[in-house]
Amino acid sequence: MSAAALPGRATYVAVFVALLALMAATIAVAYIDLGAWSATVAERYGELGRWNTVVAMSIAFVKAVLVVLYFMHVRYGRPLIWLVAVAGFLWLVLLIGGIATDYFSRDLLAPPPPVVVPE
Amino acid sequence: MTTPTSPPATPETARLAHHFDDLEQQRSANVLGMWLFLVTEVMFFGGIVTAYIVYRARAPVAFAEASRHLDVVLGSVNTVVLLTSSFTMALAVDAAHRRRRQLLTGFLLLTIALGGAFLAIKFTEYYHKYESGLMPLLGLEFRQAAGSEPEQLFYGLYFAMTGLHALHMVIGMVALGLMARLAWRGRFDHGNDTPVELAGLYWHFVDIVWIFLFPMLYLIDRHS
């Protein structure tokens, strides 16, 4: 790839400033109660059931995407690199999702009620 | 850039391995290889992240309580340090593409220095945890506030995750040190700067890992 195809220094500065701003946002948000997205989940799993966790992880994801697209040049690279990066993320989703479906669903199904045999 | 048919490669010019058609193909293959390696790294850290999720769901209160013992200020400063090091790394790769030897060497050394600052702060935190008896390693006695098992589990995960991350940083700093040495000797003056680019990809990956570790470990339930 020729150097001309890559982002300029102005882009790097903009991305760096955005990363710092997002970091400040994620710290600020941690000190504010954003409420529960699911009362049931919040009761059982605490912070995992509150919007704080959702927002914190979303901000982290956006920061990671910025680094991948601009600092790691995926936006400017070949589609094959794009594919590998997305595949890596999807594999991670499969790993976490597959295991989470087990651990988080174990108690969802109550044992069946005893069969009452009519006299 | 030299052509495939160009005569004997000296250490200063880009060398084309015989199984590639041209230098561009060689560069693309090298970058692809690095990305495949990084995907295996994603899965490596993914395993411990999954363990964290499962245990945090089991002991949400103990995790929140244990997390509050971490120093948000030091953690935030470290996040700034690491994001800055990623920025200087991007500038180093940019300098390499523009074949600015001194600038490249300078940015590489600056990146290494920021990595060193990160590790220094990290180990300061470790020492605080050691002093507070929050280090469930090497058979040390673990003093916990709530007196429950999962708080110890949180610190086990904390040391495993940040320790593996720190190990990756040390490896990255060694790689960048080699790059700085080669850069200073003029190894990348002729457009053959793929090694700098690959080291940069690795460094940015290590930055991304920390981007996720920081809110997961330091920012649990700070509002209550």
Residue B200 has pLDDT above 70, yes or no: yes
Nearest to A45 among B60, B80, B90 (CB): B60
The helix (H) or strand (E) run that includes residue B128 is: helix B101-131
Q: Do A78 and B28 touch (CB under 8 A)?
A: yes
Q: Which two tokens stand for residue A80?
A: 């094959």
Write the residue in B36, B56, B91 that is nearest to A12 by C-beta: B91
Per-residue pLDDT band for B146 (boundaries 50, 70, 90) equals low
Read off the amino acid at residue B111: T
Query: Is ipTM beyond 0.90?
Result: no
pLDDT at B26: 87
Which residues in chain B are contacts of A104 at CB distance < 8 A?
57
How many CB contacts within 8 angstroms connect chain A with chain B? 139
CB-CB contact of B114 with B77 (8 Å):
no
In a domain, A113, yes or no: no
B175 in contact with chain A, both atoms CB, cutoff 8 A: no
Residue B80 and residue A23 in contact, taking contact as beta carbons nearer than 8 Å: yes
DSSP assignment string, B144-180: -SS--HHHHHHHHHHHHHHHHHHHHHHHHHHHHHHHH
Question: Could you tell me which residue, B170 or B67, shows the higher pLDDT?
Answer: B170
CA torsion sign, B185 to B190 to B191 to B194?
negative
At B168, list the tokens.
């990756």
- B81 and B118 Cβ atoms separated by less than 8 Å: yes
Least confident among A89-103, B7-21, B25-39: B7-21
d(CA A108, CA A8): 52
**Is A63 an interface residue toward B (CB < 8 Å)?**
yes
Write down all domains in chain B, each with its CATH number in brackets.
23-218 (1.20.120.80)
What's the number of domains chain A is made of?
A: 1
Residues in chain B closer than 8 A to A23 (CB atoms): 76, 79-80, 83, 214
Q: Looking at the complex, does the CB of residue B61 fall below 8 Å from at least one CB of chain A?
A: yes
Copy the structure tokens of residue A65: 């995407």
Q: Answer whether B76 sits within 8 Å of A67, measured CB to CB.
A: no
Whether residue A65 is contained in a domain is answered as yes
Task: Indicate yes or no: CB of A47 within 8 angstroms of CB of B220.
Answer: yes
Residue B111 C-alpha, separation from nearest chain A C-alpha, in angstroms:
14
- Chain B, residues 186-215, CB within 8 A of chain A, namely 200-201, 204-205, 207-208, 211-212, 214-215
B224 pLDDT tier (thresholds 50, 70, 90): confident
Mean pLDDT of the residues in chain A = 87
Domain span including residue A45: 3-77
Q: Is A82 on the interface with B (CB under 8 A)?
A: no
Model pLDDT, residue A35 = 85
For residue A110, being part of any structural domain is answered with no
**Closest to B1 measured CA to CA, from A76, A1, A5, A74:** A1
Convert the pLDDT of each residue in A11-65 to its tens digit. Answer: 999 999 999 999 999 999 989 888 888 888 888 888 888 898 999 999 999 999 9
Query: What sign for the dihedral angle of Cα B192, B195, B196, B201?
Result: positive
Q: What pLDDT score does B144 carry?
A: 62
Q: How many CB atoms lie within 10 A of CB A46?
A: 22
B148 touching chain A per CB within 8 A: no
* DSSP letters for chain A: --GGGS--HHHHHHHHHHHHHHHHHHHHHHTS---BS-HHHHHHHGGGGBHHHHHHHHHHHHHHHHIIIIIS-GGGS-HHHHHHHHHHHHHHHHHHHHHHHHHTTTTTSPPPPPPPPP-
Q: Is A3's pLDDT higher than 50?
A: no
Distance from CA of B198 to the nearest CA of A (A): 9
* Model pLDDT, residue B5: 52
Name the band, by pLDDT with cuts 50, 70 and 90, for residue B13.
low
Residue A62: inside a domain: yes
Residue A42 pLDDT: 82
Taking CA atoms, B146 is separated from B58, B142, B143, B222, B223, in Å, by: 16, 12, 9, 17, 19
CA B62 to chain centre: 28
| pLDDT tens-digit readout, B153-190 | 888 899 999 999 999 999 999 999 999 999 999 888 88
What is the model's pLDDT at position A78? 87
Q: Which of A31-45, B74-88, B144-158, B205-219 has the lowest mean pLDDT?
A: B144-158
Please report residues of A whose CB lies closer than 8 A to that of B38: 88
Q: Are A48 and A57 in contact (CB under 8 A)?
A: no
pLDDT of residue B110: 96
For residue B139, the model assigns a pLDDT of 66
pLDDT grade for B147, boundaries at 50, 70 and 90 = low
Mean pLDDT of B45-51: 94
Question: Would you state the pLDDT for residue B46?
Answer: 95
Closest partner residue to B42 among A45, A57, A92, by Cβ? A92
Tell me if A92 is assigned to some domain.
no
Q: Which residues, in sequence order, are CB contacts of B169 under 8 Å at separation 6+?
A: B115, B118, B119, B206
Which residue of chain B comes nearest to A52, CA vs CA? B221
